[in-house]
Structure 1
Amino acid sequence: MMRRSIQTTLRATLMASVGAVLAAILPLEAAAQDSAPMRIAVEGAFPPFNYLDANNKLQGFDIDIANALCETGKFECKFIIEKWDDMIPDLVGKKYDAIISSMSMSLERRQKVAFTEKYYTSPSVFIVRKDSAISDVSPAALHDKNLGVTSSTAQESYANHLYPDMKKTVFRSSPELYKGLADGSVDIILEDKLAIYDWIANTKAGSCCEFKGPDLADVTYFGEGAGIAVRLDDGERLSRLNAALKAIKEDGTYDMINAKYFPFSIQ
């Protein structure tokens, strides 16, 4: 009887010790997870929103917004440069935790990822060379033209569905798209208006070209603006990012970043 009591006591003491150790470890693991850097994917080839400067350092509107959100939301952040086509698959695959790279919140993308509230709005638009005879941008008028778009963008999807009979040249990046228009490789391009605004307004190369036709804002293809993408099951991060976004809009930080890149509001 005494031996059984001793064994029972020893077993209880051991279980209590294990419980104490687990109680100590679990909060540390949770803290480690909370302190892990938020990995942010950016393309790095979409000026003035995100690009690499002469020193190979990330710059642009998206980068400044991301840094402001990280500071306000108390995130430790790490940028990862990623190919545009791979962004959503690799976000879902947990290679990183968020995409802050001027991603339009299309209905198709919302099936795969969750988005914050929009952090800017920009229509899409056709652009031609100033010496072009193109005046009408309807599908019928452009049926024999070569249209340039950037790979895996809302503009490519829009063109494929609404301009199915046009010849299309798909470029890997926006700078390559602009060069293709300037050197005559394509007759007309379809691009995000804010993205190409700086090229047209402030560069010698861009002075060749001009906007043509109305702004395009079909939510089916272009969504309701650009948002920050996270995984569908990452609700806590989504809430924290939305709270930080609201804070930088209310305290004037967003307006200062906006004014650094554009002489008009893009909210």
Structure 2
Amino acid sequence: MKLKSVILAGIAALGLAGTVSAAPVKVGVAAEPYPPFTSPDASGKWSGWEVDLMNAICTDQKLDCVITPVAWDGIIPALTSGQIDMIMSSMSITAKRAKVVDFSDKYYVTPAAIAVAKDATFGMTPEDLTGKVIGVQVSTTNEAYAQKFFGKTSTIKQYQTQDQVNQDLAAGRIDADVADQFTLDAFVTSKDGKACCKMLGALPYDNETLGTGIGAAFRKSDTALREKFNKGLADVRASGDYDKITKKYFSFDIYGG
């Protein structure tokens, strides 16, 4: 009887353990600041709209999510090799990426936009930007957009991080900066950005390069984790928590139609 009791207790313990995430879920984010979505402080603690949304989804689904910074240009290989379990780092859902990873439902949409020096007098068409140097972050949909629409008549200069693009625009080393509209808005309304630069506006949307929205990325074998994320996202939107989080960072809807 004693042995039987021990076995039954063990089975019960295993059943209880199954109600909690067995191991931390390593959530990959780009290692550099990407305000207002993800930014680390001096101690390495991350904050931002995307971090708050991640925490809400993981709490809803009882997942132990841990932010794991990874260089942006290596973030998909880090996922497919098992170094991280998912990517939640403002990654656009594109057909090219979907050949390698599976995406969640979209959780926001952002167009590409263009920023220039405060005293710039040119516009934002390919003709306006002929002969100009345009800075972009490497391996992003915005780089693909700039190459497609401006690459024939402008010089496209690649940078490892968006912060580097912004710094070179502020320093006058490039003529224009193509990036996500919400990210550029955060830059040009910051203390440093306000002093040097202005945003000309959003560029015409292009599904081929910009995709169908921003989603979390998963290994193709991790359907259960992707389904949990989608359920958590749906719950957070239905509860109103998504809107509460968004209002902390934006004065407008970023989910899109």
Whether these two folds match at TM > 0.5 is: yes
Note if contact 1:107-1:221 (Cα within 8 Å) is conserved in structure 2. no
Tell me the equivalent position of 1:200: 188
Aligned length: 242
2:192 pairs with 1:209: no
Tell me the equivalent position of 2:216: 228
| Whole-Å separation in 1 of the counterparts to 2:201 and 2:252 | 21
1:148-167 equivalent positions in 2, closer than 5 A: 148-165=135-152, 166-167=154-155
Which 5+ residue runs of structure 2 have no aligned equivalent?
1-6
Tell me the equivalent position of 2:60: 72
| Aligned partner of 2:27 among 40, 60, 69 | 40
| Whole-Å separation in 2 of the counterparts to 1:82 and 1:261 | 24
Tell me the equivalent position of 1:252: 240
State the shift of 1:76 in Å.
1.1
Note if contact 2:113-2:184 (Cα within 8 Å) is conserved in structure 1. no
| Whole-Å separation in 1 of the counterparts to 2:192 and 2:89 | 26
State the shift of 1:32 in Å.
10
The sequence identity of aligned pairs, in percent, is 31
| Whole-Å separation in 2 of the counterparts to 1:58 and 1:177 | 22
Which amino acid in the other structure matches residue 73 of structure 1? Q
| Whole-Å separation in 1 of the counterparts to 2:187 and 2:26 | 29
1:1-267 equivalent positions in 2, closer than 5 A: 31=18, 34-44=21-31, 45-135=33-123, 137-165=124-152, 166-212=154-200, 214-267=202-255
| Whole-Å separation in 1 of the counterparts to 2:96 and 2:179 | 19
State the shift of 1:250 in Å.
0.7
| Whole-Å separation in 2 of the counterparts to 1:249 and 1:105 | 19
Which amino acid in the other structure matches residue 72 of structure 1? D
State the shift of 1:266 in Å.
0.8
Q: C-alpha deviations, 1:202-234, integer Å up to 9, x for none?
A: 324334222225433211111111101111121
| Whole-Å separation in 2 of the counterparts to 1:60 and 1:114 | 24
Note if contact 1:43-1:51 (Cα within 8 Å) is conserved in structure 2. no
Note if contact 1:182-1:206 (Cα within 8 Å) is conserved in structure 2. no
State the shift of 1:140 in Å.
3.3
RMSD of aligned alpha carbons: 2.1
Q: Secondary structure at the match of 2:189?
A: helix
State the shift of 1:105 in Å.
0.8
Note if contact 2:21-2:64 (Cα within 8 Å) is conserved in structure 1. no
| Whole-Å separation in 2 of the counterparts to 1:59 and 1:103 | 17
Which 5+ residue runs of structure 1 have no aligned equivalent?
1-19
